[in-house]
Structure 1
Amino acid sequence: METTKKEKQFDAVKMMRDIRDKISSETQNMTFDELKAYIKQKLAEKK
């Protein structure tokens, strides 16, 4: 039985890793209070 490799149009794992890496680089040197403010700001931007 042959298998055919189908090219993905959307790679959810790659997207999640990219997002996680971006957030990690933005928050790497933040204190806990700064991190809480960052999260609160990002959640407010979504609304």
Structure 2
Amino acid sequence: METIKKEKTFDSVKMMRETRDKISSETQNMTFEELKDYIKKKLTESKSKLVGQA
């Protein structure tokens, strides 16, 4: 049986790491209250909802 190697067009691990690093740098010196406000703002901008909320 031959293995067919397919080139990736999208690297999800690389994207996740870049996103995580960006968020970490933006939030590194925030207090807990500032972090909550940051998360609420980002959710509002993306029109996403918090987990467990209707």
Q: Same fold (TM over 0.5)?
A: yes
TM-score range, shorter chain: 0.7 to 0.9
Q: TM-score, normalised by structure 2?
A: 0.75
Q: TM-score, normalised by structure 1?
A: 0.85
Gaps of 5+ in 2: 48-54
2:22 alignment partner in structure 1: 22
User: 1:17-36: per-residue Cα shift (whole Å, max 9, x none)?
Assistant: 00000000000000000000
Question: Which residue identity does 1:10 align to in structure 2?
Answer: F
Give the % identical residues.
Answer: 79
Which of the pair is proportionally richer in helix?
1
Corresponding residue pairs, total: 47
Question: Which residue identity does 1:17 align to in structure 2?
Answer: R
Runs of 4+ in 1 over 6 A off after TM superposition: none
2:35 alignment partner in structure 1: 35
Question: Which residue identity does 1:42 align to in structure 2?
Answer: K
